[in-house]
Chain A
Amino acid sequence: MHILRKYKWAILVFVGPTLVLYTYFVMVSIFSTLYYSLTTWDAISKPIFVGFRNYVEAFSNPDFAIVLRNTFVGLALSLLFQVSFGLIFAYLIYRTLRGFRLYRALVFLPVVLSQAAVAMMFTLVFNSDVGPINEILRLIGLEPLTRNWLSDKEVVFYTVLTPMIYQYIGLYVVILLAGMQSISEEIIESARIDGAGSFRVFFNIVIPMQLDIIFICIVMITTGMFKAFEHSYIMTWGGPGVRSAFLGVYMYFKAFVHAQYGRASTIAMVILVAALIITMLFRKIVQRFSY
C-alpha cells in the first residue's frame, strides 16, 4: 500500500521484534540443521564433516524411495479428501441455521484429541480379530474383503493414512468456514435473487473467493504430511519395514532411535525443500486462478 510506505519506521516496529526472534531462534537452528546434514553426528561426540555423502546415501537407499513415495501419495490423497470434505462440510454448516455452533464445535473435536489417542483408536478399529471394520464386513457377508489391516503389506499404508486424513478434516472445515464468513452478504443475496441455486453459489462464488483460504489449507496439509509422524509410529512403527512410513517418521527414527543425527538432518532438509517447492508451486497455481 503506497499510502503507508512513507512510514519507514513501520518496518522496525511491526516486523522488527518478530524478525529478531525468528532469525535468532528459528533460522539459526535451521542453518545448524543444514550444517549437521553435511556431517556424521551422534549428538554426543564431535560432528564429522562428510560433505554430501548423507544426501547421496539417502537417495540411493531403496527404503528412502519407498518413504518418499508414501509421503507423496499420502499428500495427494490428503489434499483430495481434506480439501474437498473441508469445503463441503464448511459450506453445509455455513448454510445451516439451526445447530450452526453445535456442528462447528463437533466437527472440530477430533482435532482437539491427541494424535496418540486417535491412532490408538484406529489401531483397534482395524484390529482384524475384534475390530469393527472386519466385524461389519463379516456381518454383511463380505468376508473375503477382510484383511489384516495392520500387517498386510498391501493395505497397511492406507490403514495408517486413514486416521491421518480423518483427524484433521475438522480443522480445515473450521478454517474454510471462517473464510466463508468474511464473504460479504450482499454478493450472496444478489446471486440468490438472480436465481442461483446452492451449487452455483458454491462453485461460482464461494470457492473463487476462498482461494486464499484454500491456499492456507493446502499449505497446512502439505507441511503437515511432510512432518507427520505420530500416527505411523504408534500404529505400525512405520512398518512392516517402511511400508507405512512417511518422511516425518523416517526422520524421527534416524534422529532419536538410530542416533544418526547427521542423516536425520539430511532428511529434515529434504522435507524443508520439498515442502517449500510444493508450496511455491501451489502459490503460483492459486495466483493464476484468483482475481
Chain B
Amino acid sequence: MGNYRKKGLLIGIAVFLMIGIVLPVAAGGQKEGAAPVTIRFAHMWQDGASEDATKSVAILKQVEAANPGMKLVHEVVTGDEMRNKIRVDVAANNAPDMWQFWVGGVLADYVAKGILLDIDNFLAKSKKVKKEDISKSAWDSCTFDGVVRAFPRNISVGIFAANAEIFKKYSWAYPKSWAEFLALGKKFDAQGVASSNIGSKGGNPSHFWYGDLVCQYEAGVTGTATIGKTLNFRQRPFIKAAEYCDEMRAAGLFPKDVMANGDWAPSIAYYDQGNVAFCYTFAWCFANMSEEIIQKTEIIPIPKLPDGERDTSKFIQGTTNDAYCINAKSFEDPKKQGYLVALMDAVAFDIGLMESQIGSIVSVNNNVMKQVKLDQIADKMMVKTLKYRLANNVSGSPMIWQELPSNKLQFDYQAALDELWAGAITPAEYIDKVQKSCDEYKASK
C-alpha cells in the first residue's frame, strides 16, 4: 500500500508541476480571426458604488455594445491604489491599454519610459473632441517637452466658506483682513465654536490651504509654477506662508486635533457636524455634505494676508487634477486603435458631460461645460460654487504639490506640512526640511 501511495503522490506532484509550467505557455498568445480584441481600461468606477460610477460604467458598456469586435475589460481600482497598480503593471510590462490617472509629478516616470501616447495622435482621429475645446493651461499641465502625454479630465474646484448660521448667531462679521481672522480665534474659543476644518493628514487639505496663502503673492504664483525647475523652496512667499500658518495654529484657527480631522472625509464630516465656523474643502467632498449644512454654507474670499498682493476673491487653488493615459503601443496596434478612439471619445465627452451634469466633477472641456445646465446639477453645493466662480471670475492658481517633480518630494512636502500643522516643527524647520528634500532630488539628477 505504501508503494501505491508513494507513486500516487509522485504522479500528483508531477501533474501539478506540469500544469503550472505547460499551461501558461498554452494559455497566452493572440487569437486569430474574428475573435474579439481585448481592451484593458483601468478606471475608478465601481459599478453600483455611486450614481456617478454606475452611470459611467453604463456608458462604457454602450461603447462595447456599439463595437462588437471589442471586448472591454474593466480593471477597477479606486483611489491611491491606482498608482500602485500601474507601477507594478508597468514594471512587468503589463500596462493596461488605457487608464485614469493624475497630472503632475506622478506622470514623470511614465513619460520618461515612453509608454504614454502623444495625445495629438488621438485628437487627429477623435470624433467628439477638438484641441480648442480645452484650455491651454489644461493642456500645459499634461505637456512634457512640448508633447501632450495625457488627456486632462477635470479641474479641482476649491472653496473657502463660512457657516452663515453661526456668524449670524453671534453677530460676527466675515473677516476681510488677517488681523480680523486671527482675532476670531479667541471669539470662537469663548463660545465653544470650532474654528475650521483645515486639518492635515498626508498634507490634506493643508497643502491646498498653504498654496492659497502662497499664491496671495505674485512671486508666489510664479514661484509655484517654476518650482519644478528652480527647486528653490526658500523663497519669500513660501517662508511667509509657513509663518502665517503657524500663526493660525497658535490662534486656534486649525482644528485642535489636526491629524484626526485631516484628510478629506474626516475634515468634511467635522464641518458637517454644524459647529465649525469655517470650511475649506474641494468639490470631491461636496457629496458628503448634508442638505442642511449646504444651506448654511456661504462662500467667502480667503482673508487677505497683511502683505498679500492679489485679490483673494478672484482665485483659489485648483488646476487640472485628473487625466487619462493611453498606452502608446496599444494605440499603434491597428487592431486596437479604432476601439481606443471610440472609448476615449466616450470617456472624454459622454462621461465627462454626465459627470459634470451630476456635479461630481467640473470638466476641463469647455464644450462640455457649455452644455451643462447649471440649475439642474444635482449637487447643490456645486451649483453654489459654480455660481460664485462665474460671478467673481475666479481662476485657478497653481498647486505646489503638482509642480513638484518627484513622488518623494511630494511625499516629503506633505509629511512636513503634517508636522507644521501639528506644531511639531517650526516654520523655519519646515522650510529647511522641504528644501533639504529638493536638494537631495537635485543631487540625484
**Contact stretch, chosen from B307-315, B343-351, B417-425:** B417-425
Assess the B109–A128 pair: CB atoms within 8 A.
no
Assess the A127–B411 pair: CB atoms within 8 A.
no
A156 to B201, CA, bound (A): 13
Which of B13, B91, B266 has a CB less than 8 Å from the CB of A43?
B91
Q: Is A256 an interface residue (CB 8 A)?
A: yes
For A10, the closest partner residue in chain B by CB is B6
A42 to B441, CA, bound (A): 14
* Contact A236-B407, Cβ < 8 Å, known A44-B87, A241-B424: no
- Which residues of chain A have C-beta atoms less than 8 A from B9's C-beta? 13
Which of A45, A126, A240 has a CB less than 8 Å from the CB of B418?
A240
The count of chain A contact residues (Cβ–Cβ below 8 Å) is 37
- Which residues of chain A have C-beta atoms less than 8 A from B258's C-beta? 148, 151
Q: Is A150 an interface residue (CB 8 A)?
A: yes
Assess the A151–B87 pair: CB atoms within 8 A.
no
Which of A128, A156, A253, A257 has a CB less than 8 Å from the CB of B256?
A128
Assess the A44–B418 pair: CB atoms within 8 A.
no
Q: Is A239 an interface residue (CB 8 A)?
A: yes
A242 to B433, CA, bound (A): 13
Which of B83, B90, B109, B422 has a CB less than 8 Å from the CB of A153?
B422
- Which residues of chain A have C-beta atoms less than 8 A from B259's C-beta? 148, 150-151, 156, 236, 239-240
A89 to B389, CA, bound (A): 62
Question: A148-193: which have CB < 8 Å to B?
Answer: 148-153, 156
Q: Is A20 an interface residue (CB 8 A)?
A: yes
Question: A13-68: which have CB < 8 Å to B?
Answer: 13, 16-17, 20, 40, 42-45
A49 to B88, CA, bound (A): 20
Question: A96-137: which have CB < 8 Å to B?
Answer: 123, 126-129, 131
Assess the A151–B91 pair: CB atoms within 8 A.
no
What is the CB-to-nearest-CB distance from B275 to chain A, in angstroms, rounded to a whole number? 9
Q: Is B26 an interface residue (CB 8 A)?
A: no
Which of B17, B202, B416 has a CB less than 8 Å from the CB of A20?
B17
Q: Is B189 an interface residue (CB 8 A)?
A: no
- Which residues of chain B have C-beta atoms less than 8 A from A199's C-beta? none
Question: B110-131: which have CB < 8 Å to A?
Answer: 110, 112-113
Which of B83, B257, B406, B415 has a CB less than 8 Å from the CB of A128?
B257
* Contact A126-B260, Cβ < 8 Å, known A45-B113, A258-B408: yes
For A256, the closest partner residue in chain B by CB is B84
Assess the B257–A148 pair: CB atoms within 8 A.
yes
A256 to B202, CA, bound (A): 15
A137 to B260, CA, bound (A): 18
What is the CB-to-nearest-CB distance from B255 to chain A, in angstroms, rounded to a whole number? 8
Q: Is A9 an interface residue (CB 8 A)?
A: yes
A131 to B256, CA, bound (A): 13
- Which residues of chain A have C-beta atoms less than 8 A from B4's C-beta? none
Q: Is A237 an interface residue (CB 8 A)?
A: yes
Q: Is B170 an interface residue (CB 8 A)?
A: no
Q: Is B428 an interface residue (CB 8 A)?
A: no
Q: Can you give 11 A-B contacts (C-beta < 8 A)?
A: A13-B9, A17-B13, A148-B257, A148-B259, A149-B260, A152-B422, A153-B422, A238-B415, A239-B419, A257-B411, A259-B87
The 10 closest A-B pairs by CB, nearest first: A258-B408, A150-B259, A128-B257, A43-B91, A148-B257, A151-B259, A240-B419, A151-B422, A240-B422, A150-B260
